[in-house]
Each structure stands twice: as structure tokens, then as C-alpha cells.
Amino acid sequence: MLGDGSPTRHLQLLTGEPTEVDVIDMSAIGMDADHAPSQLQVVPGPRLRRQVWLRTASGQRLAYATSWWEASHVDEYLQNRSLPIWASLAQLRTELYRDVQGIYYGHSTALEQAFGQSGPLWGRHYLFWHRGQPLTLIYEVFSPYLTKYLGATRLDCC
């Protein structure tokens, strides 16, 4: 959750399968706050929102992710929008700094149904910085299915 490596690469290492992307939506949102974390304010606008499922090649959903991009630069960094973000940026040899801003632990009926797994769910949001400027804000929620690889999680306080 706090690592600065690529979650899609980590998912691939955990499962032994390539991580693939199902793009749910790519929408221009202008300057709308879009129910995003407050750090969206540092991403220049107008903005584009990209929503995806990250899954194994065999079809198991592992994560849901939303990213917000400055609309005028998204094509520069996501030349192939069906690739995971890390793959697109790696092809371009883009150097990044991942700045984790929030960690979440809880329930979402909609995501639990979409994952086909009961929660609780872990999530996070972070900014990618490139050349000292905010590149994108990313929000990720991970499937409880990952306990198959990582072991069960338990939090006594919640």
C-alpha cells in the first residue's frame, strides 16, 4: 500500500499472469471536482478521468482504478490507452515520483459485487509527479481476492 513501485507490476508478480486493463470509461470532466480526493486540485485542468479494472489475463479482477489527467497531455503519456499506466510510462522512459496521499480500509457494496468478493477492501490514492509537476492523481481499490496470495488481513480497530 505504501510502496512506490507499480501496482500492476506487483499484481503480475503475485499472480504469475500478465495484468491487463479493461477501460470502463474515459470522460472529459473539465474542472469538476468529480468526487475525487482533494489533491485533484493540483492537477491542471481541464481534466480527463479514466476508470479501469485491472485483471489477470484469465479474467480475475484484482483492482479498480481511476486516474485524472490534464486533458491536453493525456495522449502524450497514454499513447495506448488499453495498457496499464506503468506500461505506457515505462515505454516512454518517464521518470516519476509517486506521492501516496491516503490509505483506505472499508466496504463498498458496488465494488465488492464487481469483484465477486466480500470486503473489507484496501485502497489508496496518490499523485504522480514528473519534472516537478503533478502528472496525474490515481485512486486504487484492491480486491479481497488478493488474500489468496498475501494471506488474510485483520484490523481490530474497525
Kindly write down the DSSP assignment for every residue of 49-80, as one continuous string: EEEEEEEETTS-EEEEEEEEEETTTHHHH-SS
Domain boundaries in the chain?
7-150
Higher-confidence residue of 22 and 99: namely 22
CATH 3.40.50.2000 fits 7-150, yes or no: no
Say whether pLDDT at 1 is over 50.
no
Say whether pLDDT at 36 is over 90.
yes
CA separation for the pair 113, 40 (Å, rounded): 27
Locate 156 and state its grid cell. 481490530
